[in-house]
Amino acid sequence: MIPLLAIRAGASRPDISSPEALKRSLLAAKSVSYADPAKGGASGVHFVRVLEQLGIADQMKPKTKLVPGPEAPDLASRGEVEIAVAMVPEILTVRGAELVGPLPQELQNKPGFTYVAGLMAGSAQPEAAKSLIQFISSPEADAVIKSKGLQPG
């Protein structure tokens, strides 16, 4: 999973088609929000690296609003910031936020995130855990996973 950009629904879409275009769009924006990397927000941790790669980390600080978790799209939906950076599931659940798209390929977090599940030794309900693991790795679960903006494994 990679961070994506969001705006208030109906707002002018920033050009994020290349690293240079993203840089121009971020510098032109009056405000940006993302998860506070100091609090462990994965999208924020990665986005700080992106700002450093683009050479604009210091220029962005005065117009950045850090949030403790996935609230950045909420701020964009209310017009409190022009651009929000978050993960797809965080954007898709916010009414009034519009997905702009992913960071340019060269700036994406690779390999991204991988989620795993396992059965703990001494589990109180091993059969229930096995059933859950079987379901989330089944083709039937793929549609639900995709609907949340994630890619099935």
Q: C-alpha angle with apex 28: 71 to 74, nearest 5 degrees?
A: 15
Domain with 82, as residue range(s), is 4-107
Q: Give pLDDT, residue 16.
A: 96
Query: Per the structure, how many domains does the chain have?
Result: 2
Are 125 and 53 in a shared domain?
Answer: no
Higher pLDDT pick, 15 / 138: 15
Q: 80 and 141: one domain? A: no
103 and 131 co-located in one domain: no
Same domain, 133 and 81: no
Q: Mind listing the pLDDT tens digit for each residue in 40-80?
A: 888 899 999 999 999 999 999 999 999 998 999 999 999 99
Same domain assignment for residues 103 and 136:
no
- Of 72, 89, 107, at which residue does a domain stop? 107
Per the CB < 8 A criterion, the answer to whether 83 and 4 are in contact is no
> Percentage of residues in the chain with pLDDT exceeding 90?
56
pLDDT, residue 149, reads 61
Of the two residues 66 and 111, the one the predictor is more confident about is 66
Give the confidence band of 110 by pLDDT, cuts at 50, 70, 90: low
Average pLDDT value for residue range 82-90: 92
Q: Where are the beta strands (DSSP E) in the chain?
A: 4-8, 32-35, 64-67, 83-86, 97-102
**CA torsion angle for 64, 12, 41, 109 (degrees, to 10)?**
-120
Predicted local distance difference test score (pLDDT) of residue 138: 85
Same domain, 73 and 48: yes
Same domain, yes or no, for 86 and 125?
no
Regarding whether 52 and 101 lie in a shared domain, the answer is yes
Q: Give pLDDT tens digits for 129-141.
A: 888 888 888 888 8
Rounded to the nearest integer, the mean pLDDT of the chain is 89
Domain identity same for 64 and 10? yes
Which residue matches tokens 């990665």? 46
Give yes or no: residues 101 and 147 share one domain: no
**86 and 35 assigned to the same domain:** yes
User: Which domain CATH number covers 49?
Assistant: 3.40.190.10
pLDDT at 14 over 60: yes
In the chain the first and final C-alpha atoms are separated, in Å, by 11
Q: Looking at the structure, do residues 13 and 75 belong to the same domain, yes or no?
A: yes
Banded model confidence at residue 28, pLDDT cuts 50, 70, 90 = very high
**39-43, 53-57, 144-148, 149-153: which has the minimum mean pLDDT?**
149-153
